[in-house]
Structure formats: C-alpha cells, structure tokens
Amino acid sequence: MHLLAVGIALTGTVVFGVILGMNASLLAGVSSEIAGVFGAIGIVLAFSALFSWAGHLPGAVVLHLALVNGWGGWAVALAGGLVIGTLLSALIGGILAVILGPFLALIHLVALRWMASVFRPAGDAGFSSEPEGLA
C-alpha cells in the first residue's frame, strides 16, 4: 500500500508542477516576474520525482510506524519530512530537500489515509485519531 501512496504522491507532485508551469506561460503576458516564479516552482516540482524517491522510501517507513501507533497526523508527517529532508540535504547539498520534504510527506500521508479509507475491510474502524493508550 505504501508503494501505491508513493506513486500517488510522486504523480501528484509532477502534475501540480506541470499545472504551475502551464499557468506560468499564461501569466507571462501579465507579469514576467510572476511567470518566472511560477515556472521555476513548476519545474522544480515536475522534476522532483526523479530524486524524491530517496525521501519517500524512508518516509514510508516513518509514516507506517506513526500510523500503526496512532500518531499519523499532519504534524508527524511534517516533522518526518523535515528530518528526512534535512538528512538528504546534508548528503546531496542544497536546501531543496528541506523545503520539499514536508510538502511531499503531507502528500504521502493524504494518499495513505485515502487508500486506507477506500481499501479497508468492512467493519474495520480505520486509524485512531488518538495514540494507543490515550483513548
């Protein structure tokens, strides 16, 4: 299920990047500065799929452990993405992994939660909103 969530997150990121890039060309007549910003962000997001697998695979483990233990919220996803992005940034250089890590972790979490709600067996209550032992 996590590989499907990774695929959804990567595909969503590429599609969002392409949409931003297309909007950049539409905005070029209005403001070349805004078009340049949209185009740059769109290119980064569209091509991030080539490198973001290095963050999604460890991120899948972190999110799985968090979800199993009832801690699978947005703050945990953001923190996990930030930590993994920071570690990758130290390895590859640059700050892009730190910036995109939390964003991609949230997309991954949304994809996992959506798949869990769609594919869960009948009668299964799903993920708890509170950690185990605190309910």
pLDDT one-digit tens code per residue, 74-129: 888 889 889 988 988 888 788 877 888 888 788 777 777 777 777 766 665 555 55
- Domain total for the chain? 1
Average pLDDT, rounded, for the chain = 78
Give domain status of residue 37, yes or no: yes
pLDDT of residue 55: 77
Torsion of CA 57, 58, 64, 67, to 10 degrees: -120
Give domain status of residue 28, yes or no: yes
Cα distance between residue 30 and residue 36, in whole Å: 11
pTM over 0.85: no
pLDDT of residue 126: 54
Domain that holds residue 49: 2-119
